[in-house]
Amino acid sequence: MTKGALPERTSDPARYSLFRRFSPKITAQPQLDRSFVSFQGNKGIPFFNWFKFKEGFSAQLVRYLIEQVKPSRGVLLDPFAGTGVTLFVGRSQGWDAIGIEVLPVGVYTMETRLSAEEIKPAAFQRLVESLANTHWADYFDPRFALRHIPITEGAFSAETERAIAGYLAYCRRFVRNPHLRRLLEFGCFAVLESVSYTRKDGQYLRWDHRAGKPRVGPHFDKGPIPDFDSAIHAKLRDIANDLAVGGDVNPAGGDLIDGRNNGRRGYLDLRFGSCLEILPQMRDDSVDLVITSPPYCNRYDYTRSYALELVYLGYDADQVKALRQAMLSCTVENQTKVGQLAEQYSRPGRKHAFERVERVFKSQSALQEILAILERLAAQGELNNSNIPNMVRNYFFEMCFVICELSRVLRRGGSIAMVNDNVRYAGEEVPVDLILSDFAERFGLRVAHIWTLPRGKGNSSQQMGLHGRSELRKCVYVWQKSQ
């Protein structure tokens, strides 16, 4: 099922019917190229280029969506806030922003952005210059050494481990201003991948052969690995230069995102935790615009790809495992949250909401069709993991709750813009855009647009050999609530 073609009517009747229903809404948007929609579009933008969070989207996209979807200001919500692109861009344009994020990596990054607003750029510049020739291993203290978990053990050379521990020891002993200290420690956080033997690679950390890890072959070489001292000084200089753009009174002369003061800046309300737990606590009709990108149904495990950063933030193996289960189900290891959600909605006045979501989920025929196909493929051994059907089921069950709650908290006349990708397993396309849009309609929203990127996502080389070269839609959905 590609952008311009219908699935086979006879073999996939429910998906065929769903495509026919929404096909008038599906339009290619030339402006939405891959760099515009992905993190690549943030290269060179202060703050957003301090740390590579590849799952985010660009500041340009947020500006574009605000202009296209809801030009008047109000309350902006991102229930999957990531590192805060939606929130900080919206706030710089006068929106009051609410962000929900469960991954500590995102929360830490957003809190650092707020710390950057509390310091004088010249003071940070002087501090960075004073540390330029420091040899961080000289400050080594074992109490500040990283406490590795199994999936990060051996990620750094012994010299880099000592330097990181020395750097943290210095920051916590000698830098008293908490905002200056936060920026210094964030610099270390931001270079962990570059000074390690690892590289983020979708579902996991890919290991360089130089790590000497068992079962790691000799083939992957990530290229030059800088020593910690040179990497941290380069990162700190970048941060200091960004902060110095606008002088000493206000970082970046108004806003780090676009380097200018746009008048009133909105407030920012950060909420740490799962949106499945936080959204039900929000008031009805309290949000004017939602711009977000949930995790995709693609098996990417952020707790593995960001394992180094989680260890740096002090998370142990049990905490990482618990975090994986708390996140939206998009890995084969996620267990069902049915019991948790049923208990959460059991309080007075909310049980009917759980029952409604269950009905909508179970009656979505295209989803049930694809689940039946995936279960058959799993039974035949044609999926590379037999838990994929459960993952897909859990993902859509939880997203059904998210969309129900977003519809409830959205004011009349409000809009939701959501970035997501379709996925494919064993050649079977899961039309995420159409299923979620059907959920949205059943919860009282109108599907205004399903904007596709001019170029979709192709198969992997393995999938191409088996199933051909057909593209999957990469989309931005726009849903609206009637006046």
pLDDT digits (tens, 9 = 90+) for 369-404: 999 999 999 999 999 999 999 999 999 999 999 999
Q: At what angle do helices 59-69 and 85-92 cross, to 10 degrees?
A: 60
Domain assignment present for 300 = yes
Indicate the residue type of 9.
Answer: R
CA distances from 103 to 79, 124, 139, 173, 420 (A): 12, 28, 31, 28, 18
SS3 269: strand
pLDDT digits (tens, 9 = 90+) for 102-149: 999 999 999 999 999 999 999 999 999 999 999 999 999 999 999 999
- The pLDDT-based confidence of 362 (bands split at 50, 70, 90) is very high
Q: Are residues 144 and 87 in the same domain?
A: no
Q: At what angle do helices 104-116 and 178-191 cross, to 10 degrees?
A: 130
460: containing domain: 13-103+267-481
Q: Quick one: pLDDT at residue 483? A: 85
Q: Are residues 177 and 319 in the same domain?
A: no
User: The tokens of 264 are what?
Assistant: 């009133």
Domain assignment present for 65 = yes
Q: Quick one: pLDDT at residue 456? A: 55
SS3 288: strand
Instruction: Classify each residue of 365-400 as buried b or exposed e, where b means 16 or more C-beta atoms within 10 Å of its C-beta.
Output: ebbebbbebbbebbeeeebeeebbbbbbbbbbbbbb
Q: Are residues 330 and 241 in the same domain?
A: no
Residue 1 neighbours by CB under 8 Å, 6+ apart = 7, 12, 15, 19, 429, 431, 470
Burial of 275 (0-12, 13-18, 19+ CB in 10 A): buried
Q: Are residues 20 and 63 in the same domain?
A: yes
Distance from C-alpha of 467 to C-alpha of 426, rounded to nearest angstrom:
8
Q: Are residues 88 and 167 in the same domain?
A: no
CATH number at residue 25: 3.40.50.150
For residue 397, the surrounding DSSP H or E stretch is helix 388-409
Residue 44 neighbours by CB under 8 Å, 6+ apart = none
Q: Are residues 42 and 144 in the same domain?
A: no
Q: Which among 220, 249, 278 is the end of a domain? A: 249
Q: Quick one: pLDDT at residue 261? A: 46
Q: Are residues 285 and 421 in the same domain?
A: yes
Average pLDDT for the chain: 89
Q: Tally the residues of the chain.
A: 483
The percentage of residues in the chain with a pLDDT greater than 90, rounded to a whole number, is: 75
- The pLDDT-based confidence of 240 (bands split at 50, 70, 90) is very high
Mean pLDDT is lowest, of 7-16, 50-59, 88-97, 201-210, for 7-16
Q: Is the pLDDT of residue 34 over 80?
A: no
Indicate the residue type of 69.
Answer: V
Q: Which among 216, 249, 282 is the end of a domain? A: 249
Q: What's the average model confidence in pLDDT over 67-83?
A: 92
Closest CA to 359 of 308, 397, 391: 397
Q: Are residues 27 and 134 in the same domain?
A: no
Q: Quick one: pLDDT at residue 219? A: 81
Domain assignment present for 57 = yes
CA distances from 127 to 87, 180, 458 (A): 29, 9, 47
Q: Are residues 184 and 277 in the same domain?
A: no
Distance from C-alpha of 458 to C-alpha of 423, rounded to nearest angstrom:
10
Q: Are residues 65 and 140 in the same domain?
A: no
Q: Identify the DSSP state of 10.
A: T
Q: Quick one: pLDDT at residue 370? A: 96
Q: Quick one: pLDDT at residue 52? A: 86
Q: Quick one: pLDDT at residue 48? A: 78
Q: Which among 215, 249, 283 is the end of a domain? A: 249
Q: Quick one: pLDDT at residue 245? A: 76
Q: Identify the DSSP state of 75.
A: E
CA distances from 142 to 164, 260, 261 (A): 10, 44, 45
Q: Quick one: pLDDT at residue 95? A: 96
Q: Are residues 199 and 347 in the same domain?
A: no
Q: Quick one: pLDDT at residue 229? A: 98
Q: Quick one: pLDDT at residue 70? A: 78
SS3 200: strand
For residue 412, report the phi and psi dihedrals to the nearest 5 degrees: -60, 135
CA distances from 257 to 54, 261, 343 (A): 18, 10, 41
pLDDT digits (tens, 9 = 90+) for 274-285: 999 999 999 999
Q: Quick one: pLDDT at residue 195? A: 98
Q: Is the pLDDT of residue 412 over 80?
A: yes
Domain assignment present for 382 = yes
pLDDT digits (tens, 9 = 90+) for 150-191: 999 999 999 999 999 999 999 999 999 999 999 999 999 999
Q: Are residues 65 and 195 in the same domain?
A: no
Distance from C-alpha of 113 to C-alpha of 98, rounded to nearest angstrom:
15
For residue 379, report the phi and psi dihedrals to the nearest 5 degrees: -65, -30
pLDDT digits (tens, 9 = 90+) for 306-348: 999 999 999 999 999 999 999 999 999 999 999 999 999 998 7
Mean pLDDT is lowest, of 133-142, 201-210, 355-364, for 201-210
Q: Quick one: pLDDT at residue 457? A: 57
Longest dimension (CA), the chain: 71
- The pLDDT-based confidence of 263 (bands split at 50, 70, 90) is low
Q: Is the pLDDT of residue 353 over 50?
A: yes
Q: What's the average model confidence in pLDDT over 406-427?
A: 96
How many structural domains compose the chain?
2
Domain assignment present for 256 = no
Of residues 121 and 4, more confidence is placed in 121
